[in-house]
Structure 1
Amino acid sequence: MKKIIPSAILVILGAVIAQAATEKPNILFIFADDLSYETIGAHGMLDIDTPHLDTLVERGTSFTHAYNMGAYNGAVCAASRAMLNSGRSVWNACWLGESDFKMSREKDEQHMWSQQMKKAGYKTYMTGKWHVGVPPNEVFDVAVDPRGGMPEDFWNKGSDDGTKPRYYGYFRPADENDYKNGWKPWDKSNGGYWKGGKHWSEVVADHGIEFLEDAAKQDKPFFIYLAFNAAHDPRQAPREYIERYPLDRIKLPENFRPEYEFKDEIGCGKTLRDAALAPFPRTEFAVKVHRQEYFALISHMDDQIGRVLQALKETRQLDNTYIVFTADHGLAVGHHGFIGKQNMYDHSVRVPFLIVGPDVKPGASNDTPIYLQDVMPTALEVAGIPAPEYVEFKSLLPLLNGTETQHYDAIYGAYKGLQRMICKKGWKLIHYPTINENRLYNMKADPMEMNDLSANPEYAAKIEELHAELLTLSTRLNDPLDYDDPVRSWNKASPPKKKKNKKNTH
């Protein structure tokens, strides 16, 4: 005789099954662009308003020395994201593109972070900046409004009569009069972040909230990849955010200088798009204006992040969610005479890295050097699956639970064939191979990297020691550079160039 199960029991069983399906914690990954480690107000390094990110600092653990490994071209963000999503180090990720993905797809290999999360039983969502050679809709369950490297900038739009170029967003402001008569960050007529009618940071937050509301109805844990274009240039924000930072509130970086002596030799001269945003030589006024606009765009993004965090709370998913906030790399905006990120100084290679979640110690700070790309194997371990063998980065859970105190022997950095860097035990060596120049810093005594010790004979042995370790690390990471013949080796082994678009997306 067939037994009839009371409906109340069926309801309970359904709830139990649903609970079992969602026992794995959710993961909300919030990714910014061009965001230096110093830009979180709670860290106390800058006078900047980031109240919602400050709450993540209070509720979780901050990794204060998170690094990006570098880049094989001027678009540092593309290299960083290729590493992040593939788990491969910089020289092994540089081939990641359409052809590589098609080959792996034919072999039914699941090489991307989001694909691994799917295998672990997660519903995967993505919105915002992608800038990876793999189509996002092929590796995420849901990909809404994926965007390219940057909002359309104002490079060479041409004068009204068409006779000469006009650089709306570049080599500015030359002086106060130039600023008064030039474009303004809140001007929507040039498009940029307002292309489509609404500021892109607001659009990303809107989609993030929709995802969270949908995820609350699902019977699967979620992995959300929420990627802002902010605070990449053109640094456009609503006027009220600009006015929050009058120039007398803006302080020059302590290590400000008008020009970096080797800017042309290391690929950071006038021909580099990012470097051309401000006039040469750098002026105090121009740097203050750029930092004003940078801070305003960050504060505007922070408010959008606040909306997403509120939605996470209102949908009752907060307690079972890991939240990670970081960025693809830092940005100079006046430090050392640089404006962009194509250099090996901390303001450009270090990023904020905040993690909140079950069993993560609140209000904690960890100064162990890590790579930002460590978030991928960390998420996989949280999801309960091992990282594939090809993943070269390391889970942070041993650092978070106290079973590990050291993560990497040294931190490596590279920019094209022009710059190399190694950080180890409080020392940093920056090497410029094509001109055989070094910079040496004692990072504990000189965190702003203002006192170069490379010319001091007392530190010759330290330079030799670090240089030898840099060579060893370069070999281990498949660096194509021959340090004895850098120009020839780089020209021979540099990554294949993609077809150029009309728009520059660095």
Structure 2
Amino acid sequence: MNKGRIFCNVVVVFLVAIVGFSCKDKEKNQPFEVKKKPNFLFVLVDDQSPFDFKFYDSTSTLDAPTITQLAKDGLVVDDARHMGAMVGAVCTPSRHMIMSGRTVWSLPSMQGYINPNEPKNLEENTIGAIFNRAGYSTMRTCKVGNSYPKANKQFTVVKDATKRGGTDESGSAWHADQVLTYLEDRDSIADENPFFIYFGLSHPHDVRDGTPELLAKYGATNHTDKNSLPAANEKQPPLPDNYLDGHPFHHGHLELRDEENVSGVWKNRDEQTVRNEIGREYACSENIDIQLNKVLRKLEAMGELDNTYIIYTSDHGIAVGRHGLMGKQNLYEHTWRVPLIVKGPGIKTNQRVKGNIYLTDILPTLCDLADIDIPETVQGKSFKPVLMGEQDSIRDVMYGVYAGGSTPGMRTVKKGDWKLIKYDVLDGKVRETQLFNLAENPNEYIALHGKSSEMQNNLAENSKYAAKLAEMENLLLEEMETYGDPFRLWDQETK
């Protein structure tokens, strides 16, 4: 071989080696980009039916541009529900479930309900404590009362107060101001930790005292005279399609405040009262939309919006005239379901999924999104796979309970299009069964609604659906057993 060629080859190999070592050395010393932990803005409102929004019910007249845009920019869950309550203040177990990821019969004792097997020191594994340990800066603002006090205290910054008035100081603007002040303080001290903000609002829970301009927009008044009806106004929202002037049987909770003593409503179920009250509800909800917009614009100005998961939901739904009811102590869709929107890193825009999600699933999902180990105390399921487009739902069957007032109370189960509700209340004086096909009867019309279609009715007494009724009855008992329900209904096997 030519000596010159050998020499050239040696030189080339030598140079390649030098360049290789140089590149490796450069790669070793090159600063690598550390993936920034995501922030969280968890927005929880009080007493809001998903059907208040146009993206759940196209007939709604609520104007909520910020929340509607959030839905377009993120993912909407159609079947999101609270699991229920064993006490009259449905807010309380719901908020325990959100904070702890526990199911309804596995919560700490509360408000007269005693759980002999309640978990010890559970507050140490609730949202605030978990995210504190993970290096997050945590902040909370929300109402006072009917919640989970031990868990609420775990947040580093807590600004709680009940604000249900019609001014900036007495209403939803106060909660937004607490968040904005926190973000400004964080900016001023250059806090580089990721943040978890629990942005809770006291509205649209009654008393629904809206701001004067928003009440005027919806033709509503803060009615306070028990001996008269509120004025009718063409600007008021229309009656819901499943409105009734009274429920066909008692709901089982005697002297229930929500059904008998809400200021502006009391026991009235006439058209003027209901339309005015929906107008008040919408006025409060639009104000929430305005306040949320302020917070989102602040996050955008700080450059944090794109790296923030925004979760919008309610602790439960509400009736406000639907089925002749006013409160949240029932298991119809308007009350059992909750709005749920999630937007953030990795979530495709303008998505809609079934989900079959409980509020109990919020905590494990938050942990999953933040890459935090899910505590062993958690019983819910992470729905991150749903958010990331990997699956449409996380379970096939949904179970719900209301056992405040009189026991056993109400129970419901849903699978596919079929839903069963059973009532066993007032010491056996009321024992009723309802069977609905929600694909054909999404508004859960009953005989009093006067629909001519066979399917747009309660099918429990229709012999054509006896097999489906039996199937759903068996499924309900299975779910009651799965979740440790301590009661049995009149026609179930006794424990």
TM-score by length of 2: 0.80
Equivalent-residue separation in structure 1 for 2:269 and 2:358 (angstroms): 31
Larger CA Rg, structure 1 vs 2: 2
Equivalent-residue separation in structure 2 for 1:147 and 1:259 (angstroms): 34
Cα deviation, residue 469, structure 1: 1.0
Match of 2:434 among 423, 429, 439: 439
Equivalent-residue separation in structure 2 for 1:222 and 1:96 (angstroms): 30
Structure-2 change in CA distance of 1:356 and 1:406 (3 Å): closer
Cα deviation, residue 279, structure 1: 4.6
Structure 1 unaligned regions, length at least 5: 1-15, 152-191, 490-506
1:56 counterpart residue number: 70
Supply the AA of the counterpart residue of 2:165.
Y
Instruction: Output aligned runs, 1:361-400, within 5 Å.
Output: 361-400=348-387
1:337 counterpart residue number: 324
After superposition, give the CA deviation of every residue in 1:63-122 in whole Å (9 maximum; x if it has no partner): 12210111111101111001110110011115269999x9844xx972212211122221
2:11 counterpart residue number: none
1:465 counterpart residue number: 471
Equivalent-residue separation in structure 2 for 1:256 and 1:380 (angstroms): 40
**Number of residue pairs aligned between Structure 1 and Structure 2:** 422
Equivalent-residue separation in structure 2 for 1:281 and 1:366 (angstroms): 37
Contact kept, 8 Å, 2:123 with 2:151, in 1: the verdict is no
Contact kept, 8 Å, 2:107 with 2:119, in 1: the verdict is no
TM-score by length of 1: 0.78
Match of 1:254 among 203, 218, 241: 241
Equivalent-residue separation in structure 2 for 1:484 and 1:261 (angstroms): 20
Contact kept, 8 Å, 1:414 with 1:420, in 2: the verdict is yes
Supply the AA of the counterpart residue of 2:298.
A
Q: Confirm or deny that 1:193 pairs with 2:207.
A: no
Contact kept, 8 Å, 1:124 with 1:222, in 2: the verdict is yes
Cα deviation, residue 367, structure 1: 2.1
Contact kept, 8 Å, 1:29 with 1:224, in 2: the verdict is yes
Equivalent-residue separation in structure 2 for 1:206 and 1:367 (angstroms): 34
Instruction: Output aligned runs, 1:298-337, within 5 Å.
Output: 298-337=285-324
User: Percent identity over the alignment?
Assistant: 34
Q: Confirm or deny that 1:233 pairs with 2:206.
A: yes
Structure-2 change in CA distance of 1:421 and 1:479 (3 Å): same
Bigger mean CA deviation after superposition, 459-468 or 123-132: 123-132
Cα deviation, residue 370, structure 1: 1.2
Please state whether the residue corresponding to 1:206 is helix, strand or coil: helix
Q: Confirm or deny that 1:141 pairs with 2:136.
A: no
Structure-2 change in CA distance of 1:478 and 1:307 (3 Å): same
Instruction: Output aligned runs, 1:263-274, within 5 Å.
Output: 263-264=250-251, 266-267=252-253, 271-274=255-258
Q: Confirm or deny that 1:406 pairs with 2:401.
A: no
After superposition, give the CA deviation of every residue in 1:326-351 in whole Å (9 maximum; x if it has no partner): 00001111100001110000111111
Contact kept, 8 Å, 1:61 with 1:362, in 2: the verdict is yes
Structure 2 unaligned regions, length at least 5: 1-30, 220-232, 446-456
Contact kept, 8 Å, 1:62 with 1:353, in 2: the verdict is yes
Match of 1:75 among 77, 85, 89: 89
Runs of 4+ more than 6 Å apart: 96-100
Please state whether the residue corresponding to 1:323 is helix, strand or coil: strand
Equivalent-residue separation in structure 1 for 2:68 and 2:123 (angstroms): 39
Supply the AA of the counterpart residue of 2:438.
M
Supply the AA of the counterpart residue of 1:301.
I
Contact kept, 8 Å, 1:326 with 1:352, in 2: the verdict is yes
1:430 counterpart residue number: 421
Contact kept, 8 Å, 1:115 with 1:139, in 2: the verdict is yes
Structure-2 change in CA distance of 1:74 and 1:97 (3 Å): closer
